[in-house]
Amino acid sequence: YGLTETYGPAVVNEWKPAWDGLAAAERASKKARQGVRYAALEDLTVMNPKSMQRVPADGETIGEVMFRGNIVMKGYLKNAKATDEAFEGGWFHSGDLGVMHPDGYIQLKDRSKDIIISGGENISSIEVEDVLYKHSAVAAAAVVAKPDERWGETPCAFIELKPGAKATAEDIIAHCQAHLARYKCPRHVVFAEIPKTSTGKIQKFKLRDAAKDA
């Protein structure tokens, strides 16, 4: 995992031989993490971007992934304002939200612009999407924030079903409630083709607009 600003990959999921004996689900969980810093990177951490304090290494507390070292760019060409914002506090702010596990491995949870804040709680759209993909009828899924008068935002799920498969909004919500805390579950489900770029990347900005009317 890495960014153009970190000269490409700067984090590697270094596999440990001791993990070979884990159950399949546990191995998959380990492989889903982004990992630890490359040797050439001075430091990698997850911080609260407001306080600039490292989050607890509990695998639960979400913060922003930050980099520091000589493989990190010096700045954006002829854009001092963007450079100052990116390096606020002496660290490069990736814009990616993640957690730090007790063993020092990081795991991404969302982009900062995609996080859903409902009633003051942060909800990872990626976490909800992972659960949706486990539903047998779901071919593709994307979750975005829908404005809500009471909660500020609530999760709205866009679903593409597999050919010949059937599912209702109630089915999808019940599936999520069986695997997630209630506040993380979608309150609205839209069955529609999910807009993507020519390279297959989901265009969430279009879904955010569509969610307002869902």
Domains in the chain, please, with CATH?
2-111 (2.30.38.10), 116-211 (3.30.300.30)
pLDDT of residue 145: 97
> pLDDT tens across 123-151, in order?
999 999 999 999 999 999 999 999 999 99
> pLDDT tens across 55-76, in order?
999 999 999 999 999 999 999 9
Q: How confident is the model at residue 214 (pLDDT cuts 50, 70, 90)?
A: confident
Average pLDDT score over residue span 70-94: 97
- Which pair of structure tokens corresponds to residue 108? 């991404």
Name the residue among 146, 102, 139, 100 with its Cα closest to residue 123.
146
> pLDDT tens across 97-131, in order?
999 999 999 999 998 889 999 999 989 999 999 99
> pLDDT tens across 173-196, in order?
999 999 999 999 999 999 999 999
Quick one: DSSP state of residue 161?
E
Res. 164: pLDDT tops 90: yes
Placement of tokens 């679903």 in the chain? 159
Name the residue among 64, 53, 49 with its Cα closest to residue 3.
64
pLDDT of residue 186: 97
Count CB atoms within 10 A of the CB of residue 116.
24
